[in-house]
Amino acid sequence: MTEPSATPSNVEITYESDDTRVVAQTFTRPNGQTLTVSHCHPDALRHHYTPGELGEDLRLYSGGFVNGHGKYYTGNVGFTWHPSPRVQVTGTRELTDDDYNDLFPDDATRTGIWSDIHEVLVEQPDSLVPQQPQDVSVAAAPETNYESIADRVAGQIGNSKADLDSLTFLIPNGWEAYDASYICNAHNPVQRWSGRTTTAGDGWTITFDRLQPMDSQAWRQLRDSAGIRFTHVGQLVRTDGSTFTSEQALNVLERIRIGLALALGRRTSCFLPVGYRNDKPVWALWQGYPVDPFTRVSSHWLDTLVASRQLASILAKVLDFTAQEDRRDALTHALAYYIPTNTGFDAALGVALPISGLQLLSFFHFVTEGPVSATCWERQNDHTEDEVRKLLTTMNVSTPVPTHFTNLATVQARLPTQRDALGTIIYMRNHIIHPVKGRPGKYTHKEWAESSILANYWLGLALLHLIGYNDDIAAVLQARVLHEGDERREVPWALTNLGTPWATAT
């Protein structure tokens, strides 16, 4: 950890109450006059593990540990980004005569296609999560009579049954938000930046703080390199101040992951959570998750100028909505169609996936949570287009071809019968799902791309409608390229009495 900095001589810190600290910095102008600038911003969250730079691995532990086969080693546990985000151990141990037979396992005992990811047991002084090691150098093992390992691991550290009063975690490849509230450096409170987003739902309060190094240049470097790094620290507490278990926390962290995927249009997660009791780290989880590169997507609706407000609203809605397991499953499955289309699938497949996602949500809306039986649903709808159109109509989403989607309009003009944008996209999609010999099905990349952008935009709206989101969205389908924040609009169902969001319907 960074050592606290001395308070500069021109800075005065006072406390108006236990919760309010005033930081005042006085400057002397050339003419001798003084100017005092003060603030009451809270300290930025700090995590048990200090995150590194772009693509930089983290060391989590150094010392003795027991691997998944019950053997004791000396070495290191670290978090690495490559080839995928994961926790790995490296270590050595001296061999004994009884060990040599274990070096040649019987292949006949290996079954199936999966290899196990073992837990690792580490030495824990005072039964607390070990502190992150600093500047550790490991001597090379002798060339003979020693065994070395390098293995992928995952598991819980500390007391999984402990009552926790707070939990912190790290988020990679998060979001830029110019409307976030101000926080400051705990070691040098003069340093402040716009970085905090807070939300609450289902009895939980979540705080996200942007890491101080993530300035505009760092975001640009992350985007240009399509790289990966930790960008935010998160904190989870019960809104009423009560304690909770690690099992409850993991359930909420998974739901936060779902909410972030919807808000960002790509995959990220809550990494390396550490649970605290009376400010002492008593539990941690070492595990990796898939993360998509930091990129922007053409059909996504998040607006950097108001992203903090939008994200807070999304997560609050998702936490409330996913309190029911069947709703969480539906949202998760629909996101499985939405995210891949945003993050780089072939444009033709990017048409098929959103339509399947819309079909899933239509069935969930009208049958799973609606008054229609599955039998009646099958009788009422002859085609996928019927099912999707019912959902879009309920959401008050119009379906003409946008005037500036000239390539999609070209496809529309070639069709044997008159169709709107939905009908045209379904026609193209059927060439992939139901290929028929002799039927023309070749489209240009731009024709597929415009169809994919529009279809996935509809799916994104349907996901927002699913959780009851009623805030504004970036007008990403405009005819000309605008700067972020130049134009926003309300979600379609907020414009009329149609399309009451499911989560708020009576």
Q: How far apart are CA 94 and CA 142, in angstroms?
A: 9
pLDDT, one tens digit per residue, over 453-500 is: 999 999 999 999 999 999 888 888 877 655 555 567 778 887 654 444
Percentage helix, strand, coil, to 5, in the chain? 35, 25, 40
Closest CA to 316 of 505, 471, 195: 471
Looking at residue 2, what is its pLDDT? 44
d(CA 230, CA 51): 6
Q: Under DSSP, is residue 277 helix (H, G, I), strand (E, B) or coil?
A: strand
First to last CA, the chain: 51
Torsion of CA 220, 221, 222, 228, to 10 degrees: -170
Residues with Cβ within 8 Å of 109's Cβ and at least 6 positions away in sequence, in order, are none
Please state the pTM of the whole predicted model.
0.88
pLDDT of residue 275: 97
What is the reported pLDDT for 497?
45
Q: Please tell me the distance from the alpha carbon of residue 36 to that of residue 27, in angstroms, as a whole number.
A: 6
Find the helix packing angle between 246-264 and 325-342, rounded to 10°.
40
Q: Give the model's pLDDT for residue 128.
A: 92
Low-confidence stretches of the chain (pLDDT < 70) are 1-7, 97-111, 135-144, 296-299, 345, 435-441, 480-487, 495-506
Residue 383: the pLDDT is 86
Tens digit of pLDDT for each residue in 357-402?
A: 999 999 999 999 999 999 999 888 878 999 999 999 999 999 999 9
Could you give phi then psi for residue 410, rounded to 5 degrees? -65, -40
Q: Specify the residue for token string 């060439």.
A: 431
Can you list the alpha helix ranges (DSSP code H) found in 265-395? 307-321, 325-342, 349-363, 374-380, 384-394
